[in-house]
Structure formats: structure tokens, C-alpha cells
Amino acid sequence: MIAHALTWRRERRVLPGFGLSLGISLTFVSLILLLPLTSLVGQLSQLSWSQYWFLITDPRLLASYGVTLFGAAVAAIFNAAFGLLMAWVLVRYEFPGKRLVDALMDLPFALPTAVAGITLATLYSSNGWIGRLLEPLGISISYTWIGIALAMAFTSIPFVVRTVQPVLEDLPAEVDEAAMTLGASDSLAFRRVILPYLWPALVTGTGLAFVRSLGEFGAVIFIAGGKPYETEITSLMIFVKLQEYDYAGASAVASIVLATSLALLLAINLWQGRFIKRLHGGRG
């Protein structure tokens, strides 16, 4: 045993700094990610299972799950289509101002979400620039699920664009040329050749956008209005409970959001790994 440990120690890596860099990284991960999560679990431990169950199945909270999931799903589907289109335009065509549009794609990441929220709320409120035009048509966006989905879509679109874009750039023009020489129509070539190629990236990007939308707070609350049972999102419920100094209740809700997000991220990663493995030779 000891001899084995010694030989292991003597094996030196060629790249320097492994111990130091990994050490710093792990410390950092612990401080920034794990410590807050631990305190969340700490808060939860004050609750019994029945209390926990009672808290997370509160009808108002259940309604908020529905609103959040529905809004995030609509936003994700919208982003899948629109983000794919944006990535397509940015990769496949040359036009003046292309670099500017490319840079604008990152704006939702750079902009404080509260700023986005206020801007959207004023634009789409019944006397805002766009809201005023839509009101006579009987469409109201503020304080409805449409507004929620819109705000969620705004903050999460870069996920789709930025995951699809590099894959599309790697797609050789020869591949769709090959499809065309074989007599495929444009739509068939897109459906059967290009889309399957982009599929993993598109699903990953959409999944990330969905997860991000589930937890979105700043951009959504202003436009959502927060009517109980109708436009109240789950992250707002956490905020409400915190304002009432109900830390245990807030933690209970937060744990649900966290668990859902982690589960989805894990699922996306596993699925992507399997897909890529298949493309690179393995069968499953």
C-alpha cells in the first residue's frame, strides 16, 4: 500500500500548477456555490417533512408553478424558433451591420434584468408605445402570461443563439450542397440534413433558456404584476416570503426551484453526451 502511494506521488505531471489551480478552484466553488446551498439546506432542516410538504403544496404556490412552467415553456419554444433564425441569419448571410446585430445578441446577458423588466413594462403597459397600439385590438400583454413569457424570452434568447451559432458555423456548405445535388428541395434539405445536425445544440440551448426562465425574477415581476393565482411566478413567491421574514418558507420554495433546475441541467447534459457519442462512432 505504502509503496503504491509512493510511486503514485513520484509520478509527476508535465503541466505545472495542477495542485494550486485545482485547490483555488475548489475553494472558490465551495465559497460561491456550495456554502449558500448548505445554508439553504440548513434553513430547511428547521422544517419537518409534513411542514415542508404543506409549504410547497400551498394552492397559491401551486398556481405559481403552473404560471412559471407555462411562461418558461412558451418562452423556450419561441426562443428555439427565433434563436435558430437569428443564428442562421448571423452565420449564413453577409449584410451591413452584421457585427452590430451579433453584439446586440449578448445584450440580455449584459443588461441588469431589472432594467429589462422596467423597459418591457413601460413599453407594453396599456399606455406604453406598443401596448397603446395593441390595446384597441383587445390584446393586453402587461399583467398576463404573454408578458411573462415575453420577459422570459428576452432574457434567455442568447442561450439559444450562442449555442447554435458555433455549430452552424462548423456545418460545411458542402453538406447542404450534397443534399441539393441529390435532388433535395430546400425544405427537405433543411429538415433532414441541417436540422438534425443542429439538433443537439438547439435542444441544449433551448433547455438552458428554459432553466434560466424558470428562475427569472427581475425582468418578469414588473410586467407580470403579480396577481395571486394568475400572474405570480415562483421566484416572486420566494421574495414575498422573505419580505414576511418567513425564511424557512422561502427556503422551501427555493429548494423546489433549485431541484428542478439541477435535474433539468443534468438531463440535458446526459442526453447531449449520448447524442454526441453516437455521432462520433459509438452506438448508444
Least CB distance from residue 275 to another protein, whole Å? Answer: 9
Least CB distance from residue 172 to another protein, whole Å? Answer: 7
Binding to another protein (CB under 8 A): which residues in 7-36?
Answer: none
Nearer to another protein, 60 or 192 (CB): 192
Q: Which residues contact 246 (CB under 8 A, 6 or more apart)?
A: none
Least CB distance from residue 277 to another protein, whole Å? Answer: 10
Q: Contact letters (x/-) for another protein, 159-178, by CB under 8 A?
A: -------------x-xx-xx
Least CB distance from residue 278 to another protein, whole Å? Answer: 7
DSSP 192: I
Which segment (20-28, 41-49, 75-83, 275-283) binds another protein by CB under 8 A? 275-283
Q: Does 281 bind another protein (CB under 8 A)?
A: yes
Q: Which residues contact 108 (CB under 8 A, 6 or more apart)?
A: 116, 154, 155, 156, 157, 158
Which grid cell sits at 272?
447531449
Which grid cell sits at 120?
418591457
Interface residue with another protein, options 29, 81, 104, 180 (CB under 8 A): 180
Interface residue with another protein, options 183, 243, 245, 284 (CB under 8 A): 183
Q: Reduce the secondary structure of the chain to three states and give it as a string.
A: CHHHHHHHHHCCCCCCCHHHHHHHHHHHHHHHHHHHHHHHHHHHCCCCHHHHHHHHCCHHHHHHHHHHHHHHHHHHHHHHHHHHHHHHHHHHCCCCCHHHHHHHCCHHHHCCHHHHHHHHHHHHCCCCHHHHHHHHHCCCCCCCHHHHHHHHHHHHHHHHHHHHHHHHHHCCHHHHHHHHHCCCCHHHHHHHHHHHHHHHHHHHHHHHHHHHHHHCCHHHHHHHCCCCCCCCCHHHHHHHHHHCCCHHHHHHHHHHHHHHHHHHHHHHHHHHHHHHHHHCCCCC
Least CB distance from residue 178 to another protein, whole Å? Answer: 4
Interface residue with another protein, options 98, 227, 274, 278 (CB under 8 A): 278
Which grid cell sits at 234?
415562483
For the beta carbon of residue 188, count every other beta carbon within 10 angstroms.
13
Count of residues that bind another protein according to CB under 8 A = 22
Least CB distance from residue 91 to another protein, whole Å? Answer: 18
Q: Does 279 bind another protein (CB under 8 A)?
A: yes
Nearer to another protein, 59 or 284 (CB): 284
Binding to another protein (CB under 8 A): which residues in 188-207?
Answer: 188, 192-193, 196-197, 199
Q: Does 265 bind another protein (CB under 8 A)?
A: no
Q: Does 101 bind another protein (CB under 8 A)?
A: no
Interface residue with another protein, options 185, 229, 244, 247 (CB under 8 A): 185
Least CB distance from residue 192 to another protein, whole Å? Answer: 8
Least CB distance from residue 198 to another protein, whole Å? Answer: 10
Binding stretches for another protein (CB under 8 A) = 172, 174-175, 177-185, 188, 192-193, 196-197, 199, 278-281
